[in-house]
Each structure stands twice: as structure tokens, then as C-alpha cells.
Structure 1
């Protein structure tokens, strides 16, 4: 009988899961979550809160050059974005993985299951984060809430979508993707507003007004009011940290169960909105704590935060 410990080699399994999670992540594939070695370095730098300093844009009016009057130097200022290290873990018994163990390549099969699990969990984490971010009063400039509108004025149409995208003004062109509930997606399809292209594996990629579509039924839907998000490339910073023991196996001899334990340290941070940790009880925030408004405050200018919240009804 094949056992978990017989097929899991942590030195091979850990990087496989990280790479496969990125391949399976809709956020990564749509370019919303930018994975970069510099973010990996930040995620392994130690501490629960991770400082991400930035230079503020230059301001002030230009001056007329003169032979007698010198230019007046303006100040170059900096700001501090703050990400939080997310420390999560999950354990599974061999009974949950029995089918994978029977495959031709059980380690790859189990790795795919674990990677798929983390891709889904990261998407849930991102949605909880967005919930908290957009409850913060400082983010009002990135919100388009038309849900109280009557008729077409309150529904997702081409016109209201364009209005939402232009909450960023002349930075609208940086928006490249949209995350929506399947009911919103169905409504757009009925209106023949979804276009499709093929990826390298001949799988269809949906898009709306040139923006890649991500469909997720965990997107908020309260009493017929749907929340969609419009994203720019790299709106989230994704960095993979290093749990002290990312993967290990165990055995419950009395129950006859093999156990796989996987731990994941990562940052998944909306760039330009600092985490405050005002109400975090444990060593790392839960999704409920990420969805708490007081844990977030805007640091970038509104148009430099590449996310717009769009609250609407359906046609």
C-alpha cells in the first residue's frame, strides 16, 4: 500500500506546489496579482507587518528661469505602504487523498490537489481583503455604487461600467481585468457582451470591453446588489514566504491514517493601502479580520490604486 511518506519529498514538493498554485490562480493568470522575487524577499524578511516604502509624486508649479532669482527647491516626500504576512496551514488524512495515491505519479497528483486548494484559498483571501479595503472611508474615491439607481441607472450596462472605470480618471487605461459573480457574467452573456479568445491550450478566455473576466461566486451579492471589482495589472503584490516546516507527513497508527500537513506563508497585498492590524487577535489575520475596515488606510493617490469597486444590480 502506498503511503503519503513514501511519495512526498518536501524539497521537491514545496516548490512544485508554489509554482503550480501560480499556474492555477486566476488572479495571477489575469495579471491582477503580480508575483515578483522582490515580494518573495519581503515575505521572508521576518515580522508580521512588512514595510513597503514608496516615493510620492512630485508636486508644485514650475518657475520662470531668471538670471537673478534662483529656483525654489520643493521637497521630495516618501510614504509607507504596509503589507501583512499571512500564515496559513491545512492538514489532510490519507483517506482524503486515496484517489491521488492510486495515480501513476502520486506526488504530482497530490501536489495538484494542494496547489488547487491554495489557489482557491488565496482568491477567498483576496475577496475578504477587498471587502475590508473598500469599507475604509479613505477609499471612497475608488467606489462606484449605483445600486440605488432606478432602472438602467442602477444596473451593470456598458455606460455604467465605463463610468465606474473612469473613477480613476486618465489612469483608466491601466485597468485590465474584472472580477464578477456568475450571475453578473450570465447577464452579460445574455446581452452578447462577452468576447472570447483562446489560450495556448485552446481554452476559452472571456473578456468584457477588452478586460479579462474572472468569475467567482464568492463575490458579494446582498439582496440583489452585486459587487464587482475592476483591476489593473499588479493591483496585488504576491510574495511567497517560507514557513519553518512547509510540508511534513505524519501517521495516526491507531486510526491507520496517513496525514499530510502543508503550511503556507505569503503576502497578498493590495498595493497602496496599508494594513493597520488594529483588531488582529492571533499571529496572523483571519479573513474576517482582513475584511475589517479599521485595518486598512489608503496611502497612494486614488488613481494610483489600480482597483475600482463597482456595486450594481443586474439587467
Structure 2
């Protein structure tokens, strides 16, 4: 009988899962979550809170040059974004993976299952973080809420443009939207969704030139739906280094093979610092990520490539 320990080689399995997770992540494929070696290094640098310093923009009026009066030097100031390291793990028994073990490439099959799991979890992390970020008063400038308008649907071209221009002249940085399936259905009924084919002949939906991600985890409250509008690289995604990312074990008495997988990573909305104000454990849970008091905006509003659009549908 094939056992998990016979087919899982951690040195091969671990990098495969990381790469495959990125391939299966809608946020990564849409460019919303940016993978970068610098973010990987940050996630491996140690500590629960990871500093991401940046230079503030230059301000003040220019001066008229004079042959008698020197220019007045102004300061270039720095500020700091802060990301939380997320340390997560999951274990599965062989019974859950019995079908995968019967495949021609059992390690690849198990790897795909694990990678798909982490892709879903990372997307849930991102949406949890957005819940906390936009509950923070510091982010009110990036919210367009028309839920008080009784018109249904009120997600139409004009209101979407209004939402996008919460970023002012930085609107062109917005490249993708995440919607609930009910919102997506409403847009399709209005014939507002266009499709493009990718290299695998898979249809990819677009709305006003922006790639569409459909996720039923998107917030819905009292008939009001939330859509997020994103720019490229709105989230920083970095893969850390759990001391033992993958282990196998066996409960001989039960006859169970066990696969254990641990994942250290950052999935950080850039420009909104994690304050760690209310975190009970070593690293934050999704519930704590969704807590308003754990976030504070540090970028200018229009430099944060995320807009929250609250609306009704038919």
C-alpha cells in the first residue's frame, strides 16, 4: 500500500506547493497580490511585525532663483508601513487523500490539493484584512457607499466610475475588481461583462477593462453588496520560512497516514499599517485581521490601490 511518507519528498514538495499556490491564486493571477523576492525576504526576516519603510512625497512650493537669496532646504521624510507575519498550518489524514494517492503522480496530486487549499486561504486572509482596513476611520476616503440609494441595481457604469475616481488622478492604476457572484450575475444581465481568452483558451471576464474575480466571500449585509476595486500590487505577498513546512506521520493504531503542512507568509494591503493593537496569539487570526483597531492608513489615500464600493443589485 502506498503511504504518504513514501511519496512526499519535502525538498521537492515545499517549493512545488508555493509555486502552484501562486498559479491557482486568482489574486496573484489578476496582479492584485504582487509576488516579489523582496517580500519573500521580508517574510523570512524574523519577527511578528515586519517594517516596510517608504519615503513620503515631496511637498511645498518651488522658489524663484536668486543671485543673492539661497534656496531653503526642506526635509525629505520617511514613514513606515507595517505588515503582520501570518503563521498558519493544517493537517490531513490519509483518508482525505485516498483518491489522490491512487493517481499516477501522487505527490503532484497531493501538492495540487494542498496548493489549492492555500490559494483559497490566502484569498480569505486578504478579504478578512480588507474588512478590518475599511472599518478603520482612516480609510473613509477610499469608500464609495451608495447603499442608501433605493434604485436597483445601482451598480451601473456611472456609479462604478464615481467609485473608481475616489483615487482621483490615480484612477488609471485600478486594474481589477472582486465581486460577489450575485453582483456578477447582475452585471451579466446588463450585458456589461466582456470575455477574453487566455493562453489556455479559458475565458476571463472583464468589466470596463478591469479583470473580474468572483468570490462568494465578498461581504453582503441587508441587501447591500461590497465590491472591491484594485490596482496592480495592491497586496504584498511574501512567502516566509516555517522551520518545518511539511511533515508526515502515521497513527498505526488507527491506520491513518497524516500530512502536516505549515505556511508562513504575508498578505498585506500596502499602505495600511497593521498596528497589532488587539491580537491574542503569536500572529493574527482572520477575525483579528478583520478588526478595525488593528489597522491605520499610512499612505495618501490615492496611493492605496483599493476602493470599497457598496451598492445594491437587482
Q: Give 2:179's aligned residue.
A: 180
Question: What is the deviation of 1:245?
Answer: 0.1
TM alignment of 1:213-228, pairs within 5 A: 213-228=212-227
Give, in whole Å, the separation in 2 of the partners of 1:244 and 1:100: 26
The Cα offsets for residues 106-164 of structure 1, whole Å up to 9 and x where unpaired, read as: 00000000000000000111000000000000000000011001316x71110000000
Give, in whole Å, the separation in 2 of the partners of 1:126 and 1:53: 21
Q: Give 1:37's aligned residue.
A: 37
SS, match of residue 16 in structure 1: helix
The number of residue pairs the alignment matches comes to 314
Q: Give 1:116's aligned residue.
A: 116
Is residue 51 from structure 1 mapped to residue 63 from structure 2 by the alignment? no
Q: Give 2:98's aligned residue.
A: 98
Give, in whole Å, the separation in 2 of the partners of 1:134 and 1:40: 26
Question: Which consecutive residues of structure 2, in runs of 5 or more, have no partner in the other structure?
Answer: none
Is residue 273 from structure 1 mapped to residue 272 from structure 2 by the alignment? yes
Give, in whole Å, the separation in 2 of the partners of 1:187 and 1:2: 48
Is residue 126 from structure 1 mapped to residue 126 from structure 2 by the alignment? yes
Q: After the TM superposition, which segments of 4 or more aligned residues of structure 1 sit over 6 Å from their partners?
A: none
Q: Give 2:211's aligned residue.
A: 212
The Cα offsets for residues 209-241 of structure 1, whole Å up to 9 and x where unpaired, read as: 000000000000111100110000000000000
The Cα offsets for residues 88-117 of structure 1, whole Å up to 9 and x where unpaired, read as: 000000000000000000000000000000
Question: What is the deviation of 1:43?
Answer: 0.2
Give, in whole Å, the separation in 1 of the partners of 2:279 and 2:222: 30
Give, in whole Å, the separation in 1 of the partners of 2:214 and 2:151: 24
Q: Give 1:310's aligned residue.
A: 309
Give, in whole Å, the separation in 1 of the partners of 2:150 and 2:10: 57
SS, match of residue 104 in structure 2: coil
Of 65-74 and 52-61, the range deviating more from structure 2: 65-74
Give, in whole Å, the separation in 2 of the partners of 1:144 and 1:205: 26
Q: Give 2:150's aligned residue.
A: 150
Give the superposed CA RMSD. 0.7
SS, match of residue 134 in structure 1: helix
The Cα offsets for residues 59-103 of structure 1, whole Å up to 9 and x where unpaired, read as: 000111111111111110000000000000000000000000000
Give, in whole Å, the separation in 1 of the partners of 2:150 and 2:41: 49
Q: Give 1:240's aligned residue.
A: 239
Q: Give 1:86's aligned residue.
A: 86
